[in-house]
Amino acid sequence: MKKLSIGWFSFSCCEDSTIIFTELLNDHYKEWKQIIDFRSILVMQRKESLHSFDVAFVEGAITSKEQEKKLKQIRSVSKKLVAIGNCACSGFPSGQRNDFDPAKQDEIAFLLVRFAYAERVQKLADIVTVDDYVSGCPMNEQGFLTILNKYLKEFGVIA
Amino acid sequence: MSTFDLTIQEFAKIEGKARLTVKVKDSVVEDVRFAITEYKRFYTQALRGKDIMALPQLCCRICGTCSNAHILCAVQAVENALGMITSEQTLLLRKLINYGLMIRDHALHCYVFALPDILGIDNILELDESIPDQRQLLEDTFQVKAVGNMLSAHIGGKSVHAPYPVIGGFSKLPDQNRFPDMIASLESIRPAVMRLIQRLAESPFSLHRVSNYVAKIDDEYSFLDGDILTSEGRTYSLMEYVNAIRHVEIPYSHASGYIFDDGVCMTGALARINLAKDKLHPRTKQDVKDALRMFPSTNIFHNNLAQAIEILHSIDRSIDILRHLVIVPERPQTVMRKAGTGVGIIEAPRGILMYRLVLSEKGSIDHIQIVVPTGQNQVHIEQSIRRYLEQNIHQGKDRLHREIESIVRAYDPCMSCASHFLTIKWVGV
């Protein structure tokens, strides 16, 4: 039986949508076990394959060059990429340092250098093409289910 | 003689991201660096200047899984700063929200993160539904999580970033008519939790360390009240605790570490059960008395078992509250903005969570300090990895890797919480 191959990734955020996803499993795990191939979801499993995904669900904003590189890698192996939650969709609230006044910028400057932060926090669409958005903080559950079902149909997994 | 480097770039089945690097030369562990690698979002700075009414809903965005604990702690800190006295109904509803969080969050950790290690599988969905025992475990996993979720959502409005608990009370009160169904749901998962406790009590994993365990304890093990107790036999008031906790810089980690009374301590479920198992709900104590005989324990892996016992306790306390609570119409108290300082300290699922605030006359945040459980446990975790390596240096790297991951998971660390603050030196406060 064909399955939808997915990856679930988190960047800079509170991972609230990941928690919502694990809660959606309470009601859907039996169904999803049959039709979804979880190729990467670090919060649930060690095994990870970054070779190809039908759909990558990406939570969080991008705050470093290292994250930007990984996001581009995910994009390059994913037929579709969905931004999950407000930080991925709009960059906020994770991007709050973008609006700091000079005094606050000075306080954090040494850490930005030490850990190679990017100059500004960016939303996903600033860096890669995003095919769909599920906004909300955390993500809107019904919105996620709608997008998931759309791709299950589009990739021929369900009728 | 063993000489090798070991790097774990990312840990699976934990909240957030961490990295480990180890150097071993001639069978001597030369260097162990456990680094939290979540990038900061600089909440300490971002919150400064914000109005107190916004604080709970801003702070809960620090962490999706501990979200409601941040709300409750922020509310407590503001109310203490303003000298507000909360109603009995509000206190009970806050307890219910936290019990719901404990059930859901501990269940996620025990079933989804920790149990696969014990079962020798990678993830819980690998369980075979055609085998009755495995099907039962899979059903237990999602039923227990769902009931914890339901409890928080019914009382707080949502299980993550709950909108109803506010400074001074609740913006919307729960529907009393739903309480009988909630009680039935809570009762329905007790057998599953008993099975979980049994499984974890039989787990062969062990790593023993004599530690100073620290927890906030009251007579009903409510997670929200009481003094700070330690396994060294000392009792601290909230302000004494604030003064005893000290930041330590870990240059390779994005997160601050903390020591307590100039020593390394451990906070969390193991600390709580070690210090206060006699204060658990009577029904819990009766039903898991064999498991409780294993405490106090020095086995780090018993943090998993302690969490499972706390799920049962949270169920039993919640049932008691729901049976007796009669909801009366009550609006949140009016907030009178004024200058002040306040401390909030609660037990979040992973241990002591502390907020310390200084408010301006206009009711905005002048200073804020937030200390989270994983920050307090960070040094302890690194020391445990070193201890394990020193005792097992001749095991193959694959086994070391696998078992180190299990050790870190046993602490149930939350990197999302731990890395989002920058400690600022408090001058003249």
Q: Do A42 and B48 touch (CB under 8 A)?
A: no
Residues of B in contact with A63 (CB under 8 A): 39, 41
DSSP class of B51: B
Domains and CATH numbers, chain A: 4-154 (3.40.50.700)
DSSP three-state, residue B27: coil
How many other C-beta atoms lie within 10 A of the C-beta of residue B191?
11
Radius of gyration for chain A, computed over Cα atoms and rounded to the nearest angstrom: 16
Closest Cα in chain B to A94: B41
From the list A13, A107, A138, the residue facing B422 with the nearest CB is A107
Q: Do B13 and A42 touch (CB under 8 A)?
A: yes
Supply B45's token pair: 């700075």
Residues of A in contact with B63 (CB under 8 A): 14-15
Domains and CATH numbers, chain B: 86-330+378-415 (1.10.645.10)
pLDDT (0 to 100) of residue B421: 66
CA distances to A111, B113, B254, B350, B408 from B385, rounded to whole Å, are: 26, 18, 19, 19, 8
Q: Do A44 and B124 touch (CB under 8 A)?
A: yes
From the list B39, B45, B46, the residue facing A63 with the nearest CB is B39
Q: Do B64 and A38 touch (CB under 8 A)?
A: no
From the list B112, B142, B251, the residue facing A44 with the nearest CB is B112
Helices B190-201 and B302-324: crossing angle in degrees, nearest 10, is 160
From the list B16, B104, B123, the residue facing A45 with the nearest CB is B123
Nearest chain A Cα distance for residue B426, angstroms: 13
Bridge partners of B34, per DSSP, are B20
Nearest chain B Cα distance for residue A156, angstroms: 23
pLDDT (0 to 100) of residue A129: 98
What is the per-residue pLDDT across A135-159, written as a single tens digit (0 to 9) for each? 999 999 999 999 999 999 999 999 9
Please report where in the chains the tokens 């990312």 appear, as a residue. B10
Residues of A in contact with B127 (CB under 8 A): none
A interface mutation test: which of B39, B129, B404 has the most A CBs within 10 A?
A: B39
What is the per-residue pLDDT across A102-146, written as a single tens digit (0 to 9) for each? 999 999 999 999 999 999 999 999 999 999 999 999 999 999 999
From the list A10, A43, A117, the residue facing B13 with the nearest CB is A43
**Cα distance between residue A45 and residue B412, in whole Å:** 15
pLDDT (0 to 100) of residue A35: 97
Residues of A in contact with B40 (CB under 8 A): 108, 111
A interface mutation test: which of B41, B145, B253 has the most A CBs within 10 A?
A: B41
Nearest chain B Cα distance for residue A26, angstroms: 5
Q: Do A12 and B41 touch (CB under 8 A)?
A: yes
What's the mean per-residue pLDDT of chain A? 96
Asked if B139 has any chain A CB less than 8 Å from its own CB, the reply is no
pLDDT (0 to 100) of residue B420: 65
CB A44 within 8 A of CB B123: yes
Closest Cα in chain B to A87: B61
Nearest chain B Cα distance for residue A95, angstroms: 7
DSSP notation for B126-183: GS-TTSHHHHHHHHHHHHHHHHHHHHHHHHHSSSSS-SSEETTEESS---GGGHHHHH
Supply B200's token pair: 């974890």
Question: Which is it for the CA torsion B176, B181, B182, B186, positive or negative?
Answer: positive
Contacts of B240 (CB under 8 A, 6+ apart): B228
Contacts of B421 (CB under 8 A, 6+ apart): B40, B42, B43, B44, B256, B369, B370, B372
Supply A5's token pair: 């191959």
Residue by residue, pLDDT tens for chain B (429 residues) are 789 999 999 999 998 899 999 999 999 999 999 999 999 999 989 999 999 999 999 999 999 999 999 999 999 999 999 999 999 999 999 999 999 999 999 999 999 999 999 999 999 999 999 999 999 999 999 999 999 999 999 999 999 999 999 999 999 999 999 999 999 999 999 999 999 999 999 999 999 999 999 999 999 999 999 999 999 999 999 999 999 999 998 999 998 899 998 899 999 999 999 999 999 999 999 999 999 999 999 999 999 999 999 999 999 999 999 999 999 999 999 999 999 999 999 999 999 999 999 999 999 999 999 999 999 999 999 999 999 999 999 888 889 999 999 999 999 999 888 876 665 554 433
Closest Cα in chain B to A64: B39
Q: Which residues of A fall below an 8 Å CB-CB distance to B?
A: 10, 12-20, 22-23, 25-27, 29-30, 33, 38, 42-48, 63-64, 67, 93-94, 96-97, 100, 104, 107-108, 111, 114-115, 117, 137-138
Nearest chain B Cα distance for residue A80, angstroms: 24
Supply B298's token pair: 């020095």
Q: Do B146 and A42 touch (CB under 8 A)?
A: no
Radius of gyration for chain B, computed over Cα atoms and rounded to the nearest angstrom: 21
**Cα distance between residue B365 and residue B205, in whole Å:** 45
What is the per-residue pLDDT across B220-229, written as a single tens digit (0 to 9) for each? 999 999 999 9
DSSP class of B64: S
Residues of A in contact with B122 (CB under 8 A): 45-47
Residues of B in contact with A20 (CB under 8 A): 64, 160
CB A133 within 8 A of CB A83: yes
**Cα distance between residue B297 and residue B270, in whole Å:** 8
pLDDT (0 to 100) of residue A46: 87
From the list B112, B129, B424, the residue facing A22 with the nearest CB is B112
Cis-peptide, bond into residue A102, ω within 30° of zero: no
H helix or E strand, kind and range, residue B401? helix B397-410
CA distances to A63, A69, A100, A102, A126 from A121, rounded to whole Å, are: 5, 14, 12, 16, 10
**Cα distance between residue B85 and residue B333, in whole Å:** 9
What is the per-residue pLDDT across A17-63, written as a single tens digit (0 to 9) for each? 999 999 999 999 999 999 999 999 999 998 888 889 999 999 999 99
CB B71 within 8 A of CB B130: no
Nearest chain A Cα distance for residue B149, angstroms: 8
Q: Which of B261, B270, B201, B248 is nearest to B382 (CA)?
A: B248
From the list A10, A26, A107, the residue facing B424 with the nearest CB is A107
